[in-house]
């Protein structure tokens, strides 16, 4: 069937029927934001919610791609089907994935039950585009047991993975003092499982110990406040630190050691990922995560749609350059221009709320 003759309902039906060709075409439509993609994603929504979605992040060189390859193979050995989305850096010229043509799933070549797709981050601040989240939905609806998202790297902006993945796995390599400091800067907060990859290198045990200490401090912010060179703290300060009682049912992040090149530790990692998925379901946190994910998705879509409408208003006013020239010649100012552009939207909102 040609692309012209194939309708969105046909594609959705074929995808739900387990046809990989339809899955590939749907994800292509999603990534390219082709006409009709929103209807497709809407139709797929009712069929999502069964896959375990795992995010793999970590600094360049930590071995993410190799570990993802071994994870996919081990999941397949256990009888699970796997979808992998590798989010690559965006080309500043085309917006496409810079590394999109690299061969990354060497252990799974020819296995139809491992679906791999390299996608562009498209310059989004958090490294993950809305298209990535939609592609996860397609893989979920298709029936993949596990969906793995491999991100560009790790850093303050990479925390967007929390909004897409159920379980976040952060990779650190031994002796990477900078990586551990980076974790302290914020990425530590998003990890459910930490992996010291390349654990056969010198410094692995020390890196494990540092991570475990940091996790302990994260879970117990008052730990150690009565000792150390800062001296004891008073009761009032302790009360401020311990306002929130530790959640007895909270997940305690675990540190796992792997050697991705040989597959060592991968089974233990999968067991840990499975334990977190089970905890999410049993504790009911899986619904909390989904609710937060949908809330953020709605906000992002509303922002994007509103921005697109306002671009039409800007074009009708002669384009952004013409407006900038008016500001340049002091005929007006940026705030006044913004107020005028948003006024039609504001009027519609006021009318809706009456």
User: What local confidence, expressed as pLDDT, does residue 214 receive?
Assistant: 82
Q: Confidence class of residue 89 from pLDDT cuts 50, 70 and 90? A: low
- In three-state form (DSSP H/G/I as H, E/B as E, the rest C), the secondary structure along the chain is CCCCCCCHHHHHHHHHCCCHHHHHHHHHHHHHCCCCHHHHHHHHHCCCCCCEEEEEEECCCCCHHHHHHHHHHHHHHCCCCEEEEEEECECCCCCCECCCCCCCCHHHCCCCCEEEEEEECCCCCCCCCHHHHHHHHHHHHHCCCEEEEECCCCCHHHHHHHHCCCEEEEEECCCCHHHHHHHHCCHHHHCCEEEECCCCCCCHHHHHHHHHHHHHHHHCCCCCCCCCCCCCCCHHHHHHHCCCCCCCCCCCCEEEECECCCCECHHHHHHHHHHHHHHHHHHCHHHHHHHHHHHHHHHHHHHHHHHHHHHHHHHHCCCHHHHHHHHHCCCCCHHHHHHHHHHHHHHHHHHHHC
Task: Report the predicted TM-score, pTM, of the whole model to 2 decimal places.
Answer: 0.81
pLDDT tens digits, residue range 65-76? Answer: 999 999 999 999
pLDDT tens digits, residue range 20-65? Answer: 999 999 999 998 889 999 999 999 999 999 999 999 988 778 889 9
Domains detected in the chain: 1-47 (no CATH), 48-283 (3.40.50.300), 301-353 (no CATH)
User: What local confidence, expressed as pLDDT, does residue 207 receive?
Assistant: 86
Q: Which of 88-92, 185-189, 220-224, 243-247 has the highest mean pLDDT?
A: 185-189
Distances (CA, A) of 154 to 88, 136, 208, 231, 268: 13, 20, 18, 35, 23
């Amino acid at each position: 069937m040609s692309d012209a003759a194939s309708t969105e309902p046909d594609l959705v039906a074929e995808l739900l029927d387990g046809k990989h060709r339809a899955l590939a075409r749907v994800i292509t439509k999603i990534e390219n934001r082709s006409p009709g993609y929103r209807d497709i994603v809407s139709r797929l929504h009712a069929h999502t919610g069964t896959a375990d979605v795992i995010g793999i992040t970590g600094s360049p060189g930590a071995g993410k791609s190799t570990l993802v390859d071994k994870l996919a193979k081990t999941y397949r050995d256990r009888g699970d089907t796997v979808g992998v989305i590798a989010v690559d850096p965006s080309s500043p010229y085309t917006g496409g994935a810079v590394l999109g043509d690299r061969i990354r799933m060497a252990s799974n070549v020819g296995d139809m039950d491992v679906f791999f797709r390299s996608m562009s981050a498209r310059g989004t601040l958090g490294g993950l585009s809305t298209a990535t989240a939609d592609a996860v939905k397609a893989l979920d609806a298709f029936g993949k047991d596990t969906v793995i998202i491999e991100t560009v790297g790790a850093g303050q902006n990479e925390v967007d993975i929390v909004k897409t993945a159920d379980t976040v796995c952060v990779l650190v390599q031994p002796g990477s003092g900078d990586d551990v400091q980076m974790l302290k800067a914020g990425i530590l907060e998003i990890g459910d499982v930490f992996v010291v990859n390349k654990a056969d290198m010198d410094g692995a045990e020390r890196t494990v110990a540092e991570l475990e200490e940091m996790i302990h401090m994260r879970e117990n912010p008052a730990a150690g406040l009565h000792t150390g060179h800062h001296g004891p703290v008073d009761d009032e300060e302790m009360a401020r630190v311990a306002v929130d009682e530790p959640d007895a049912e909270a997940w305690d992040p675990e540190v796992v050691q792997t050697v991705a090149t040989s597959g060592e530790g991968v089974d233990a990692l999968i067991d840990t990922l499975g334990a977190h998925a089970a905890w999410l379901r049993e504790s009911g946190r899986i619904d909390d995560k989904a609710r937060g994910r949908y809330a953020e998705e709605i906000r992002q879509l509303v922002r994007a749609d509103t921005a697109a409408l306002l671009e039409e208003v800007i074009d009708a006013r002669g384009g952004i350059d013409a407006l900038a020239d008016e500001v340049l010649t002091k005929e007006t100012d940026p705030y006044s221009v913004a107020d005028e552009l948003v006024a039609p939207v504001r009027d519609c909102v006021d009318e809706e709320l009456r």
